[in-house]
């Protein structure tokens, strides 16, 4: 049994929803369908979720809400038009939006979640009706009924472990269940949304709860690219990658999934496949616990900018634990997280995301380090990019590292930092951000032809 | 003005001392001479210092000391023989040894230092007489008179900063001063020795105190080799290297100097040259604060075995400061120092010297980490060697790193760890110890032809 999730662009128009209906019909293992709110129809369009934020703003400032409610309603009506569904469904959607706008507001935070959830919730109702009209035995189910119990944190809810047991009871549901993504209910019955991009996590939670054999995540790309298409013309699609590979790629700029979205599937070893609603016959990218085909050492190359590096050296400093502890305590005092801490014999570098410091706090930090550590040398480098080469097949990495450094040397790209050793899945280069594109290209054409 | 120091092998026999006398005569800037105790004349010989340890052992166990005293005395007598010095000098040496053996022992630790210091002290007296007999206006000076004031730590004395001021007052000494190395006097007038190899530090202290233009350290090799002669047949001698380069080489197996021996010269930016008593026309290896000739990127390659690596990974662990702090606190609880801590996205490796743990404490450590950190994966790798490629000329290291990894790849040497980033002077590879020799060879022939 498969859990299938459709993103906003897959549900943005009647034309898209026709593809979705066909996809559901194509495989009778697709029994649980998680839906997002209708997304953009074109790049200059607005998503339903953005319109709902407008509605929220109008409500809390006591402005006129009619036009916004109508704009939202029209999106659903337009999608519904060709399918000949029961008109009561649309009337119900309009009424629920009007009701939302007149709710007494006791807490802005909960009120926002109430409004935001309407995008997915109404869409699930609509898609369920469209399914029925298309001959699919489906029904809408509310997340409360399904058992998605979450922590009491508006806009940042987390699933409670006991939810999985409740969800599991639905595994033999007679009908295909159409589930709105993006939100759950607290134990007190309050709606709370996951952080943005949260329909992905709804799908993963449902897949874990039901112990699905596969979580199919339908979006508008053929899968995960081996490099950023902004840097590489028509990069390859990755056929299969492990959770760890995906995580390493995501760290440095790949933003296919929200950071924690796949955690439930990872924990339950449920494979995930990313597929394209517009090209469903493409096999997509499969994310698995362990990969069988390791012929190719590298699966992908990613990069991220915005790092800084503090370098400090002190003759005979010795890397006593106490010494590093002191530095990390200073970092803690400044509420700074570090990313990497490569060390030489008598020196240490600390790489961290630059956004954590402004000019003033940076000066304070350096002054504190200078005062407490009294290094022979202390300096900071800005505008560092991290380039990550990822692949479980590199475990015997002799060749891959040599090929990578040679590729960078050919382009005369200076390496501020190399980090390898901890992860068996990747290695990492720190370079000046101006050379990031060159580095990605040079590495890509080394490992992918 | 130069401070010159002769090691034990340079003073092991009359023949060697003749070379020393000539070296002192060859340059009239050589005004302060630090001497070790007579060393081995051949590989199966015993050093005077070792004989003195025998004497100490005999004294504290109330055994007969006559034979040992005679053996020590004969070493001095043999050296003195061809120079025709005043016989009172030898008689004085014999008497002082006999007196030592009858001293009341109140504290073994101080008594040991009293005995140990006799090797250098008597040799300084002897060499001063030989100088005089050879027409050099020289005299013995006791470290107390010179101003070498040290901390009250037998076998582990450290110089007190105020010593330098006192030593400086001797800069215009009329005679060439012959100074015994290896020990100083506490403020209470107690003899304390530096840690073993401590004549090097005596020379460095004197050079700093006198603000010498050069500290010449005479030994029995032409200088520092670019790689271990046990691995490479007739490796090149390094002409010039910086303090930092030397320190990086010393970290991984180069043992030309005792760890802290050059600290005083480093602090005062006094250049040091390592020269060969048996080949004084060879320019030797000069150790400087900054190098001018950076044409060659790499100056040397060294390696050391005996490292272990703990690897831990945890999906979405995030490298929060708090997380690393916890690991380092566990290390501190076990009184463990770590060497390097490379990190991936969701993982971390900690490399440390294996000798710090035994089987039992290792198991305890791993159990504690497993319990407190609860990682997805935790394992330990033993028998790791670190190979370090050193050179200030690698600052633009694009090419050097690529050449190094290619050299290791050609020999199919797997890299457990690569560390670059902190030091601008070196990078480091972690490999299995069985491949250490292959790695050194492959790297050496890449950078030195």
Q: Is A206 helix (H, G, I), strand (E, B) or coil?
A: helix
Question: Which pLDDT belongs to residue A426?
Answer: 85
* Cβ contact B309–A421 (<8 Å): yes
Percent of chain A past pLDDT 70, that is, above it, reads: 95
For an interface test with A, which of B265, B320, B405 has the most A Cβ atoms less than 10 Å from its Cβ? Answer: B405
Q: What is the DSSP string of A240-272?
A: EEEHHHHHHHHHTT--SS-TTTTHHHHHTT--E
Instruction: Tell me the pairing of strands B285-288 and B240-242.
Output: parallel
Query: What are the beta bridge partners of residue A179?
Result: A34
**Residues of chain B falling short of pLDDT 50:** none
pLDDT digits (tens, 9 = 90+) for A400-411: 888 898 999 899
Domains of chain A by start residue, with CATH: 2-220 (3.40.1160.10), 300-447 (3.30.2130.10)
Name the average pLDDT for chain A.
91
Answer whether B348 sits within 8 Å of A263, measured CB to CB.
no
Cα angle for residues A137, A141, A144 (degrees, 5° grid): 160
pLDDT band at A39, cuts 50/70/90? very high
- Residue that is written with structure tokens 């007579």 in the block: B38
What does R_g of chain B's alpha carbons equal in angstroms? 25
Give the Å distances, CA to CA, from B272 to A300, B4, B255, B283, B296: 50, 10, 16, 12, 21
- Per-window interface: A 324-343 vs B, CB < 8 A: 324-325, 328-329, 331-332, 336-343
**Beta bridge partner(s), residue B275:** B218
All residues of chain B having their beta carbon less than 8 Å from the beta carbon of residue A397 are 414-415
Pick from B328, B416, B422: CB nearest A348: B422
Which is nearest to B340 in space by CA: B437, B249, B423, B434?
B423
Give the DSSP per-residue string, B134-203. Answer: TT--EEE--HHHHT-BB-S-TTS--B-THHHHHHHTTTT-SSEEEEE-SEEE-TTS-EEEPSSSTHHHHH
Check CB contact under 8 Å for A336 and B321.
yes
Flag whether residue B413 sits within 8 Å of chain A, measured between CB atoms: yes
* CB within 8 Å: B325 and A322: no
Cβ contact A167:A146 at 8 Å? yes
Token pair for residue A368? 């504190």
**Does A344 sit within 8 Å of B423, measured CB to CB?**
yes
Q: What are phi and psi of A128, to 5 degrees?
A: -60, -45
State the average pLDDT over residues A192-207.
Answer: 89
What pLDDT is attached to residue A197? 62
pLDDT tens, position by position, A5-32: 999 999 999 999 999 999 999 999 999 9
**A246-299, pLDDT tens digit by residue?**
888 877 666 666 657 888 998 899 999 999 999 999 999 999 998 877 778 899
State the best of A313, A413, A421 to mutate against chain B, taking most chain B CBs within 10 Å: A421
Closest approach of A376 to chain B, Cα-based (Å)? 10
Q: Is B259 on the interface with A (CB under 8 A)?
A: yes
CA–CA distance, B241 with B246 (Å, rounded to integer): 7
* Residue B139 near residue B128, CB atoms below 8 Å: yes
Report the residue of A201, A287, A344 to disrupt the B interface, i.e. the one with the largest count of B CBs within 10 Å.
Answer: A344
| Chain B residues within 8 A of A419 when measuring between CB atoms | 342-344, 418-419, 421
Residues of B in contact with A402 (CB under 8 A): 402, 405-406, 408-409
Residue A422's pLDDT band, with cuts at 50, 70 and 90, is low
**C-alpha to C-alpha distances, A80 to A47, A55, A73, A128, A320, nearest whole angstrom:** 17, 22, 11, 11, 67
Beta bridge partners of B300: B390
Structure tokens at A276: 């394209």
What pLDDT, on a 0 to 100 scale, did the predictor assign at position A259? 59
Helix (H) or strand (E) holding A361: helix A359-373
pLDDT tens digit sequence for A360-382: 999 999 999 999 988 888 999 99
Nearest Cβ partner for B420 among A332, A415, A423? A415
Structure tokens at B296: 């060659």
Whether B337 contacts B352, CB under 8 Å? yes
Chain B (303-322) residues lying within 8 Å, Cβ to Cβ, of chain A: 309, 311, 313, 315-316, 318-322
| Contact of B177 with B141, CB cutoff 8 Å | yes
Give A48-73 pLDDT, tens digit per residue. Answer: 999 999 999 999 999 999 999 999 99
Considering only CB atoms, A316 lies closest to which of B260, B320, B423, namely B260
Helix (H) or strand (E) holding A33: strand A30-35
Nearest Cα of chain B lies from the Cα of A214 at a distance, in angstroms, of 20
Cβ atoms within 10 Å of B178's Cβ, excluding its own? 25
Residue B322: list chain A partners with CB under 8 A. 332
Please report the pLDDT score of residue B167 as a whole number.
98
pLDDT for A83 equals 96
pLDDT digits (tens, 9 = 90+) for A138-190: 999 999 999 999 999 999 999 999 999 999 999 999 999 999 999 999 999 99
Residue among A412, A425, A428 whose CB faces B398 most closely: A412
Q: For residues B251 and B246, give the distance between their C-alpha atoms in angstroms, rounded to a whole number.
A: 9
Cross-chain CB nearest to A408 (options B260, B343, B398): B398
| A430 touches B: beta carbon within 8 Å | yes
In this complex, do B337 and A347 lie within 8 Å of one another by their Cβ atoms?
A: no
Answer yes or no: do B343 and A405 touch at CB < 8 A.
Answer: no
Question: Which of A290, A321, A416 is best to mutate for the B interface (most B CBs within 10 A)?
Answer: A321
**Which long-range contacts (C-beta less than 8 Å, at least 24 apart) are formed by A289-292?**
A289/A242, A289/A243, A290/A242, A291/A240, A291/A241, A291/A242, A291/A245, A291/A392, A291/A393, A292/A240
Q: What is the 8-class DSSP label of residue A211?
A: T
- Answer yes or no: are the C-beta atoms of B411 and B439 closer than 8 Å: yes
User: Which pLDDT belongs to residue A255?
Assistant: 64
Chain A: closest CA distance from residue B427 (Å): 8
Greater pLDDT, A2 or B321 = A2
**Strand, helix or coil for residue B215:** strand
Q: Cα distance from A99 to chain B (closest Cα, Å)?
A: 40
Which residues of chain B are within 8 Å of residue A322 when distances are taken between CB atoms?
332
Contact B338 A319 (CB under 8 A): yes
Burial of B57 (0-12, 13-18, 19+ CB in 10 A): middle
Query: Can you tell me which residue has the tokens 């022992």?
Result: B105
Closest to B206 measured CA to CA, from B257, B152, B145? B145
Note the pLDDT of residue A210.
97
């Amino acid at each position: 049994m498969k859990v299938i999730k459709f993103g906003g662009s897959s549900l943005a128009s009647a034309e898209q929803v026709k593809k979705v209906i066909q996809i559901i019909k194509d495989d009778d293992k697709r029994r649980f369908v998680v839906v997002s709110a209708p997304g953009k129809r074109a790049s200059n369009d607005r998503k339903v979720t953005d319109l709902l934020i407008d509605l929220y703003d109008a409500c809390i400032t006591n402005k006129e809400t009619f036009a916004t409610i109508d704009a939202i309603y029209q999106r659903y009506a337009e999608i519904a038009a060709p399918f000949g569904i029961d008109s009561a469904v649309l009337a119900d959607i309009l009424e629920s939006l009007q009701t939302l706008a007149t709710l007494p507001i006791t807490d802005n935070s909960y009120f926002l979640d109430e409004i935001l959830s309407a995008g997915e919730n109404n869409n699930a109702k609509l898609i369920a009706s469209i399914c029925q009209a298309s001959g699919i035995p489906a029904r809408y189910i509310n997340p409360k009924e399904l058992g998605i119990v979450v922590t009491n944190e508006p806009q940042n809810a987390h699933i409670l472990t006991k939810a999985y047991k409740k969800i599991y009871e639905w595994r033999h549901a007679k009908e295909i269940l159409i589930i709105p993504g993006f939100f759950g209910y607290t134990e007190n019955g309050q709606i709370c949304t996951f952080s943005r991009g949260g329909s992905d996590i709804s799908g993963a939670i449902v897949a874990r709860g039901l112990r699905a054999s596969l979580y199919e995540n339908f979006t508008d790309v053929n899968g995960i690219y081996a490099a950023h298409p902004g840097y590489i013309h028509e990069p390859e699609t990755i056929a299969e990658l492990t959770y760890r590979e995906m995580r390493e790629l995501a760290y440095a700029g790949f933003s296919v999934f929200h950071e924690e979205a796949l955690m439930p599937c990872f924990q339950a070893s449920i494979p995930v496949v990313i597929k394209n609603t517009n090209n469903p016959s493409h096999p997509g990218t499969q994310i698995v616990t362990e990969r069988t085909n390791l012929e190719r050492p590298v699966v992908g190359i990613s990069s991220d900018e915005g790092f800084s590096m503090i370098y400090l050296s002190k003759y005979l400093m010795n890397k006593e634990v106490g010494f590093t502890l002191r530095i990390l305590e200073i970092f803690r005092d400044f509420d700074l997280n570090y990313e990497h801490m490569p060390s030489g014999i008598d020196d240490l570098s600390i790489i961290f995301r630059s956004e954590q410091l402004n000019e003033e706090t940076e000066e304070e930090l350096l002054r504190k380090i200078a005062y407490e550590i009294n290094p022979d040398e202390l300096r900071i480098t800005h505008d560092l990019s991290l380039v990550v080469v990822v692949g479980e097949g590199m475990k015997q990495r002799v060749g891959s590292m040599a090929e990578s450094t040679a590729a960078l040397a050919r382009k005369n790209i200076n390496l501020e930092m190399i980090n390898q050793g901890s992860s068996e899945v990747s290695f990492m280069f720190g370079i000046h951000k101006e050379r990031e594109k060159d580095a990605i290209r040079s590495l890509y054409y080394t490992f992918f032809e």
